[in-house]
C-alpha cells in the first residue's frame, strides 16, 4: 500500500495594504458618508492641459502672476496683461473637463457631495455638470468695466481685440489644439501666457463697449480679496456640510487654507488629495498623494455607481 501525502506550498498571506490603499479607503469612507464640501485648486485641471501653480511642474517656477496693485496702478501693466491674456485665454477656453471634474459631478449627482468651492477660474466644474459651484476667484469667461461696473462676455472682448490687433496672438500656438495637450510651458493657470516683451509691442487694448472705461477680468488677482458675498456663500456651504475634501490644492494661500482652519473650528473632518505636500496636511484626517484624474474616477465608480443601484 502506498501512502499518499499531500504537500502544501509555502503559506500564502494576503499582501499588507500599502499606505496608498489605506489612504484610498479613508477617502472612500469620508465620501461614502455623504455631506461633503469639496475645495479644489489648480491640480484638478492639469488633466485638462492647464498647469497648476505649485505642483511638480508648477507655473510659479517660471511665472510671477500679476497682482491687483500692478494691474490697477499702471496702464502699461494692464496693456501687458491683456496682450498675454489675449493669447492665454483662448487655450483655457478650449480646455475641456477631465475625468476628475466628471467624477466630482457624478458624486454630487449621487447625493454624496453637497457642492464645490473652487479656486480655479477655468469654469471646468460647471462644464462637467456640477450644479452647486462657488467660483471663489471668479471666472476668466467674464470681464468687468472698472468704470460703470458692467459685466460682459470674454468672447466678445476677444472678438474686439482681434479686430483691433489683426494677426496678433498666434505666437506658435495652435488654436485648434485639443484639451489635454502640454501647455504648461506657455500658458499659466490664470490664463496669462508667457510672451517676450518684443512680442507684445504695439498691442492695443480696448475699453468698455458701453462707457469706454478700463476693463478687468472678473477674477481675484493675487493680492486682492475674495468678494464678501462669495466668501460668505462658501463658508455657508462648509458649515452645512459633514466633511471637507480638498482636491489639487497646496493650500499655500489663505483663500483656500481658511476653509481647512474653519473646518477645524467646526469639528469637521478634512481629507486632502494632492500631488505633493500641502499646508493643511497636519490638520487632515488623511492625505493621499495621487493624480486626481486617476483616483477620482475610481472613487466615483465605487460610490456613485453603488448609490445609483
Cβ proximity of 137 and 131 under 8 Å = no
All residues at 6 or more sequence positions from 92 whose CB lies less than 8 Å from its CB, including other chains: 50, 121, 122, 140, 187, 191
The answer to whether the CB of 115 falls within 8 A of the CB of 132 is yes
Was 165 annotated as part of a binding site?
Answer: no
Residue 291 marked in a binding site: no
- Active-site choice (91, 102, 137, 171): 137
Number of residues in the chain: 309
* Spatial contact of 175 and 90, defined as CB atoms under 8 Å apart: yes
Is 292 marked as a binding-site residue? Answer: yes
Q: Is 137 a catalytic residue?
A: yes
φ, ψ at 261 (rounded to 5°): -65, -45
134 annotated ligand binder: no
Find, among 52, 75, 47, 48, the residue nearest to 65 by Cα: 52
293 is in an annotated binding site: no
Residue 17 labeled ligand binder = no
Ligand-binding site membership of 248 (annotated) = yes
Dig out the grid coordinates for 296 from the structure: 477620482
Please give the Cα distance from 103 to 273 (Å, whole number).
14
Residue 53 labelled as part of a binding site: yes
Is 58 labelled a binding residue? Answer: yes
Cβ proximity of 242 and 272 under 8 Å: no
Alpha helices in 217-291 (DSSP H): 228-239, 254-266
For residue 250, say whether it is annotated as part of any ligand binding site. Answer: yes
Residue 61 labelled as part of a binding site: yes
**202 annotated among ligand-binding-site residues:** no
Q: What are the two backbone dihedrals, phi and then psi, of residue 303, each rounded to the nearest 5 degrees? A: -100, -50
117 is in an annotated binding site: no
- Please check if 43 is assigned to a binding site: yes
109 is in an annotated binding site: no
Phi-psi sector, 223: left (phi>0), alpha (psi -120 to 50), beta:
left
Contact between residue 192 and residue 36 where contact means Cβ atoms under 8 Å apart: no
Residues at the binding site are 41-61, 119-122, 145, 148, 208, 211, 248-250, 274-276, 292
Annotated binding site for NAD(+): 41-61, 119-122, 248-250, 274-276, 292
> Residue positions in the annotated binding site for Zn(2+)?
145, 148, 208, 211
Which positions are annotated as active-site residues? 137
Amino acid at each position: 500500500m502506498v501512502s499518499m501525502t499531500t504537500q502544501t506550498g509555502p503559506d500564502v498571506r494576503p499582501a499588507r495594504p500599502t499606505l496608498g490603499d489605506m489612504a484610498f479607503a479613508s477617502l472612500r469612507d469620508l465620501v461614502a458618508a455623504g455631506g461633503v464640501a469639496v475645495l479644489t485648486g489648480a491640480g484638478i485641471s492639469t488633466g485638462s492641459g492647464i498647469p497648476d501653480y505649485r505642483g511638480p511642474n508648477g507655473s510659479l517656477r517660471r511665472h510671477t502672476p500679476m497682482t491687483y496693485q500692478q494691474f490697477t496702478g499702471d496702464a502699461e501693466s494692464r496693456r501687458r496683461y491683456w496682450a498675454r491674456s489675449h493669447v492665454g485665454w483662448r487655450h483655457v477656453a478650449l480646455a475641456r473637463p477631465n475625468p476628475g471634474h466628471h467624477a466630482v459631478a457624478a458624486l454630487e449627482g449621487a447625493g454624496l457631495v453637497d457642492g464645490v468651492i473652487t479656486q480655479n477660474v477655468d469654469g471646468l466644474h460647471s462644464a462637467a455638470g456640477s450644479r452647486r459651484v462657488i467660483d471663489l476667484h471668479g471666472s476668466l469667461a467674464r470681464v468687468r468695466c472698472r468704470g460703470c461696473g458692467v459685466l460682459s462676455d470674454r468672447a466678445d472682448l476677444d472678438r474686439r481685440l482681434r479686430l483691433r490687433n489683426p494677426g496678433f496672438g498666434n505666437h506658435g500656438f495652435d488654436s485648434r489644439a485639443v484639451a489635454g495637450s502640454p501647455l504648461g510651458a506657455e500658458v499659466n493657470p490664470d490664463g496669462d501666457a508667457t510672451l517676450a516683451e518684443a512680442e507684445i509691442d504695439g498691442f492695443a487694448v480696448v475699453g468698455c463697449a458701453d462707457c469706454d472705461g478700463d476693463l478687468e477680468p472678473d477674477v481675484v488677482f493675487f493680492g486682492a480679496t475674495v468678494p464678501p458675498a462669495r466668501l460668505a456663500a462658501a463658508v455657508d456651504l462648509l458649515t452645512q456640510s459633514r466633511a471637507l475634501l480638498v482636491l489639487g490644492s497646496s493650500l499655500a494661500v489663505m483663500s483656500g487654507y481658511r476653509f481647512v482652519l474653519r473646518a477645524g473650528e467646526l469639528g469637521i473632518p478634512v481629507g486632502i488629495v494632492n500631488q505633493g505636500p500641502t499646508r493643511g496636511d497636519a490638520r487632515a484626517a488623511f492625505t493621499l498623494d495621487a493624480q486626481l484624474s486617476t483616483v477620482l474616477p475610481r472613487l466615483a465608480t465605487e460610490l456613485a455607481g453603488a448609490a445609483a443601484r
